[in-house]
Amino acid sequence: MYKPASPSMDCTADSKAVYKQAESSALISGDRTSPISVILVSSGSRGNKLLFRYPFQRVSENTSSSAYKQRSPYALNTAGDAADDQDGDSRFSDIILATILATKSDMCGKKFELKIDNVRFVGHPTLLQSPHTIQVSKTDPSPKREMPTMILFSVVFALRANADPSVISCMHNLSRRIAIALQHEERRCQYLTREAKLMLAMQDEVTTMTETDGTPQSPFRQILPKCKLARDLKEAYDSLCTTGVVRLHINNWLEVSFCLPHKIHRVGGNHIPPEALESSLKAIRPYHALLLLDSEKALLAQLPLDCSPALVRLIKTCSAVKNLQQLAQDADLALLQVFQIAAHLVYWGKAIIVYPLCENNVYMLSPHANIRLYSPLAEQFAQQFPGHELPSMLAKFSLPISLSEFRNPLDAPMHEAQLIQMVVWMLQRRLLIQLHTYACLLVPPSEDDEHSLKDEEPPLSARVGGRSLSTPNALSFGSPTSSDDMTLTSPSMDNSSSELLPGSDSPINKRVTETLLASLTEQERQGILNVPAAQSPEDLRMFVRLLHYFRGHHHLEEIMYHENMRRSQLKTLFDKFRSVLVVTNHEDPVISIFQSPPE
């Protein structure tokens, strides 16, 4: 008996179908970073040969109709043409590709880049032996006649002509790595020569079969199951088009590892440019923390057998509540080495940089978060935390909220630990962003001084000591404390800490205070001195000492780190001088790249 489906079930199925369709369209939109094809060519005594290409060149069933359909250089590109021309190198025959991609020996060891119409070929031609070594007399009966006849080879990736320069550079890097591994195996056991002979033999066999029965066939389809090198190239192409992580074992001996950052680092459907990623990694500071994007067990299982023991030790010690300086001490590693390992894990998409979790951290829902009811993330969250739903949990972060406000103080410690795990889970999926507190000096103008504001003033950093905190000049730091109230010391700010001695109203302190105030404009100086808290010498000294931070570029936690101060001290100071300070809350530019795509 037929039983109609319930409306709720239909709604759920339709919602999931719509989500999958949107997800697939997002994948298609990211194909600009994917290669069109991978090609292996060689040059030797038998001429230039195209050994393998993937994807296979499409063999049309109606060759006459396909030959009749010629593309006019003056024709407009329609949507159908763009779809047919997605594999832009398919119009080039094997003979043409072998001729244009097999370079001369003088170009070996260098980057090869060739643009033809809407296709750009990128490779790294590699020399196996000098050309004169195979020029042997035909009547020479010596064993030199058995030497391999391949002079050079090249693994070439076909890209779209308008591909980003960073993608082109990454593809050349992968081509060079594969070439170095193949060159090593060729010199060790003539691996490439054996694979090339097998590929050419299969091509001759398929050509003979085609001439016999008249049915066109692709020789590369027959090569795949019998040739290990062809399967490696196919695996590299498939990985570049999907995950962006390539792991090959050439000849089951040499490992070639590579990652395409454009595929790995994606937030909100947009990829993070490698230049922005590199600049963000250079700005990592000891007060930051490393958040692993996978479990410790899963991450250790992905590591190669000969990986660095320091990497294993850091992964086992890593925690979202530890800053990098604490992590270096717990793992018994140098801080600089921890920075390098952290940057390595971030580049490979295994971790992100965050601020250590503490009860004062303020989080809110990311504008790029996936908040669909039937998304895979909602299902994963329900499986990971039974009894809790992701949409209801994300609703609590619709407005900025601190972790102390997020948790219930009456809950059991076990439930509190589970809430922290939920926050970590949402941070790993980029569902939340953290907000930091910034202060900026802004003295209200008086009517008499409005005309003076028209004159351009030098920046506050140039008028107050000329110090810039964008890049510390050393990596030796003091002892860590808890992540809640970090009071670390930094040698980059030891001058400012020694200029004003706290607790004493000495003549030196008075002179330094007057000097720093004299570097301000008359309006700023009078505005600060008119604040009631400025009547306290201690409060005034502390405020003047921190003037160079009040440019809106340094958040509260950074000031705590550089000046060895507690959060309560800074918040009290902000409140006392609130009439001349503008306090804002927004993301940290250093780590916001891992939470939201750049503009």
241, 34 Cβ separation under 8 angstroms: yes
Which of 103-112, 176-185, 497-506, 552-561 has the highest mean predicted lDDT (pLDDT)? 176-185
CA atoms within 13 A on the CB side of 304: 12
CA distance 79 to 91: 18
Per DSSP, the residues of 48-73 read EEEEEEESPPP--S-HHHHHH----T
Mean pLDDT of the chain: 78
Average pLDDT rounded to a whole number, residues 232-237: 96
Q: Would you say residue 5 has pLDDT above 80?
A: no
Q: Is the pLDDT of residue 175 over 90?
A: yes
Task: Give the model's pLDDT for residue 101.
Answer: 92
pLDDT at position 327 over 90: yes
CA–CA separation, 217 and 222 (whole Å): 9
Q: Which of 171-185, 198-212, 242-256 has the lowest mean pLDDT?
A: 198-212
Strand partners of residue 289: 354
Mean pLDDT throughout 109-134? 84
**Looking at the predicted structure, is the pLDDT value of residue 550 above 70?**
yes
The pLDDT, as a whole number, for residue 513 is 66
Residue 571 has pLDDT above 80, yes or no: yes
Paired strand residues for 267: 270
Contacts of 489 (CB under 8 A, 6+ apart): 477, 478, 497, 564
Which are the contacts of 592, defined by CB distance < 8 A and separation ≥ 6?
433
The residue that leads in pLDDT, 133 or 426, is 426
Instruction: Please give the distance of CA 242 from its chain centroid, rounded to a whole number.
Output: 15
Average pLDDT, stretch 452-463? 47
Q: Is 465 left (phi over 0), alpha (psi -120 to 50) or beta?
A: left
